Structure 1
Amino acid sequence: MRLALAAFALAIAPAPLIAQPADLGASIDADMDELMAHYRHLHANPELSGMEVETAAYMAAIARELGFEVTEQVGGTGVVAIMENGPGPVVMLRADMDGLPVIEDTGLPYASTVTAVAPQSGVETGVMHACGHDTHMTTWIGTAMQLIERRDEWSGTLMMILQPAEETGEGARAMIEDGLFERFPMPAYAVAFHDSARGRAGDIGIAPGYALANVDSVDVTIRGVGGHGAYPHTTKDPIVIASRFVTALQTIVARELDPLDPAVVTVGSFHAGAKHNIISDEAELLLTVRSYSDETRAQLLAAIERIAMGEAMAAGVPEDRMPIVTVRESEFTPSTYNTPELASRAMALFQDRWGTDMVSEIPPVMGGEDFGRYRREDPDMQSLIFWVGGQPADKWDETGGDATKLPSLHSPFWAPDAEIVINRATEAMTLLALDLFEGN
């Protein structure tokens, strides 16, 4: 079926591999002109988190044309496309849709010129797919096309979802709270991929176990007693207290956590005062806190509050001026855990197809991804997100594979080798879906 363009070795032994479809690569190659036309459209027309109205409509129309039963406006702008194809497991494939408030500077002929008012800041900004979600959506289309063409090769229920607001950590929660797994089947498997700025275009990386981190945003207001800068003895200087607080925070990871338990506490903003000779009443600090396990997360958050209170008490701050520590629970993004059995299965399948030079185990990262929320709804669900490198091969080779010398995700210069990413990811997602259906 062809569409017109629409508006690590693991301890767990992998399951037996399916026979690799001999024609799959050629079939995807034949689709690439169409897929790249979709990609260029999506890249040129990004929408911010929670505002993906046109993107969702565009993608839903494609899914309907392919024959899926499509439901729109799930959790806001989310889309769910279902294809029942006989008995078998429910396999969920997910792509995210939102762009970022970034002014594009790639020089691409189809570069985004879109502007929008960012809801969180109220500031008008350029909008760009600086995280590669356009490659994710295009791969979603390519995988859907392949699986529809191969309906005689699998049995089960294919559940393909398009998620809004991944960048703000709100989209997965919104879809779940809108009844994603009550109105639609609970999947046995959930799979996604993400393009990567840390790898050569087409290389695949899998992190077994924890793959991405818990992400917390914490606001800390250090309160003091303000006054004249010439008479500091009459005040309780919140800048001094907050400075000691920032320094003491460094001991949480260094001295309170097991050295083998990764964590990050970063102060991203420190603001206090407005004039040279005035000691302010308050200092405002914004923190990002990263961890993997829920237990470590709880320990970090408790330590932050304890240290804030302790520094205020040590400075003699009045009891009614103790710090205010606010964890923004609505912005919490849980860690993403790749279930070892599924990670092993995908690793064996992909290495059988592309070899160990192009498919490898990679370490987890401290970035966040709300894909991890889906598995938390059912601990029996097997879940996997894998990476497909996006750095153009010539630039990768020029730097000797040093990703720090190349544009990163969220950069205005991020321009992955989209054709290779989409081709490779489409084949990988299709192979894995076929394997999950057949292997049961």
Structure 2
Amino acid sequence: MAVPADVLRSAVECCLDVHLHPEPSGAEERTAGVLADRLAADGYAVTRGVGGHGVVGLLRRGAGPTVLLRAELDALPVTEDTGLRYASTVPGVAHACGHDLHLAALGGAARLLARDTGGWRGTVAVVGQPAEETLDGALAMLRAGLYDLTGPPDAVLAQHTAPLPAGTVAHADGGPLLAGTAAVDAVLHGAGGHAGAPHLTVDPVVSAAAAVLRLQTLVARERAPAEQAVLTVGRLAAGTEANVIPDRAELGISLRAFDEGTLDQLLAGVRRVLAGEAAAAGAPRDPEVTVRARSRALQPDAPLTARLRAAHVAALSPARVLRWQPATAAEDFAWYGPAGAEVHGAPGVRLGYWMLGTVSAAARREAARTGHPVPGNHSPRFAPDLRTALPTGIEALTAAAHRALAADDPPDAGADAGAGAGAGSGSGEGDG
């Protein structure tokens, strides 16, 4: 299935526009407007401001399944260093995770579905979600009544950029695709003073430095070597001047695991380590530990995945449909499905999710020549190959939507034909 030239041209323009003008989580007003205007022009009934800057476009064509297609609106607090002609014009903010590509592919697929007046029946709901990087957006939209607007969907579909060959997609084999995660903010307290009189202070910088090293042992020495778990201190902030010992040090900690019990144990370990370092330093106050956001492991529905894989094999060819090994990247998509049933009240929603390759052949050759990996998601140098990845994303999302809308269509007997070699377990990151 080739994407019509005018649809692809429009999608490229959308992607470049959004890439040039990125907006961080919770501030995606302009980006939301870009999607909303496109959907309205294509005949969708558009609702704006759902759970923040969330956008919902509905196209109803009689009785049939309700299929929701979702992409993210937000960018990352990253300074772009790609050298692209269309690099971010916003200091300190960039689409370093591929959400601009997701959004453009979503718009392209929505346009193709709108034009296809006889090929499907049911309801297509197109959703632009804010605040995915902070793990807030999915729950915010659901709590704001997303499924009241759309009706309980039969399937929710999404894709995410990954360091796989551009032109390919990859599906999980029935297990989890991405890890569950918890985003933790912590504060270690001290007693500040003069750098020349450290004996009169309690230095939280030293405590924080010790904590960063000790926290690594929660995985390296307290989890089984075969268990997949990750603890990352992604933010450490303290002080204003070299000659002033501050009163506090702040840490941003990311926890990832496929098991909720493991996440709970890691969180308990974080509290224990920080409390121990504070006590060892004689801190005047106990540490503050706040779980800012949390999401479950993403496990796509297995029968739906078989159908979507078959659809992608038919649309793209078997060689372009790969296997994906579980990765400890994470995002908040799981809340749209059974994990969020207490919020949205629709326990039967099935999730379909796949990874979208972004690495050009030239970039792969250069990486092989130099031994340096291709910059992945969340890198300042992340630069997807739009010429190949964007049309593939449009084709993949459109084919998947058609298959999900065919409610009684059984999985193809050749669903496993897409077992292309080279499936990744790379950092197709979705969260901040």
**Which position in structure 2 is the counterpart of 1:431?**
399
CA–CA distance in structure 2, aligned partners of residues 195 and 264 of structure 1: 21
Match of residue 291 from structure 1: 257
Secondary structure, counterpart of 2:88 in structure 1: coil
On the 8 A contact 1:220/1:323 being kept in 2, the answer is: no
Q: How far has the Cα of 1:250 moved from its partner?
A: 3.0
Change (3 A) 1:260 1:188: farther
> What amino acid is aligned across from residue 66 of structure 1 in structure 2?
D
> 2:357 and 2:331 mapped to 1: Cα distance?
17
Further displaced range: 36-45 or 178-187: 36-45
Report sequence identity in percent.
36
Shift, 1:312, TM fit = 4.9
Give the structure 2 partner of residue 20 of structure 1.
none
Q: C-alpha separation between the residues in 1 aligned to 2:370 and 2:176?
A: 24
Deviation at 1:426, TM superposition (A): 1.2
CA distance 1:228–1:428, change in 2 (3 Å): closer
- Change in CA separation of 1:403 and 1:72 when aligned onto 2, cut-off 3 Å: farther
- Alpha-carbon deviations, 1:218-257, whole Å to 9, x = none? 2344456778999989987656655554444333223433
TM-aligned CA distance change 1:298 to 1:103, over 3 Å: closer
**1:339 paired to 2:307:** no
Pairs within 5 Å for 1:38-437: 38-113=14-89, 115=90, 125-196=91-162, 198-207=163-172, 208-223=174-189, 242=208, 245-270=211-236, 283-312=249-278, 315=280, 317=282, 321=284, 323-329=286-292, 331-375=293-337, 376-378=339-341, 379-400=347-368, 404-437=372-405
Name the CA distance, whole Å, in 2 between partners of 1:30 and 1:269: 43
Matched to 1:327, the amino acid is T
| C-alpha separation in 1, matches of 2:403 and 2:370 | 34
SS for the counterpart of 1:146 is: helix
Cα 1:392–1:239, aligned 2, differ >3 Å: closer, same or farther? closer
In structure 1, C-alpha distance between the alignment counterparts of 2:212 and 2:13, rounded to whole Å:
49
How far does residue 165 in structure 1 lie from its aligned partner after superposition?
2.0
- Structure 1, 62-71 or 275-284: larger mean CA deviation: 275-284
Query: How many angstroms apart in 2 are the aligned matches of 1:360 and 1:112?
Result: 31
Q: CA 1:421/1:323 → structure 2, altered by over 3 Å: closer, same or farther?
A: same
Match of 1:175, as an amino acid?
M
Alignment partners' CA distance in 1, 2:29 and 2:185 = 31
Q: Report how far residue 389 of structure 1 moved.
A: 1.1
Q: CA deviation at 1:44?
A: 2.7
Query: If you compute each CA radius of gyration, which structure gives the higher value, 1 or 2?
Result: 1
**SS of 2:400 mapped into structure 1:** helix
Post-superposition offset of 1:283: 4.8
2:164 alignment partner, SS class: strand
Structure 2: 5+ residue runs without aligned partners?
Answer: 342-346, 409-432
Amino acid at match of 1:200: P
Structure 1 residue 420: deviation in Å? 1.6
Deviations for 1:63-95, whole angstroms, at most 9, x for unmatched residues?
122211111111121111111112222111001
Deviations 1:125-159 (A, max 9, x none): 24432222221121112111221222322221111
SS at match of 2:75: coil
Aligned with 2:392: secondary structure? helix
TM-score, normalised to structure 2, is 0.81
Deviation (angstroms), 1:409 = 2.3
Q: TM-score, normalised by structure 1?
A: 0.80
User: 1 CA distance for matches of 2:241 and 2:134?
Assistant: 34
- Structure-2 separation of matches of 1:420 and 1:98: 23
Partner Cα separation in structure 1 for residue 31 and residue 129 of structure 2:
11
Q: Deviation per CA, 1:348-382, whole angstroms, max 9, x where unpaired?
A: 33234434432111222222322222112234221
Cα drift, residue 273 of structure 1: 7.0
Please say if residues 169 and 322 of structure 2, whose CA atoms lie closer than 8 Å, have aligned partners that are also in contact.
yes
CA contact (8 A) 1:88 1:437 kept: yes
CA contact (8 A) 2:278 2:287 kept: no
Pair 303,414 (structure 1): closer, same or farther in 2 beyond 3 Å? closer
Letter in 2 for 1:100: L
User: CA shift at 1:404, angstroms?
Assistant: 5.0
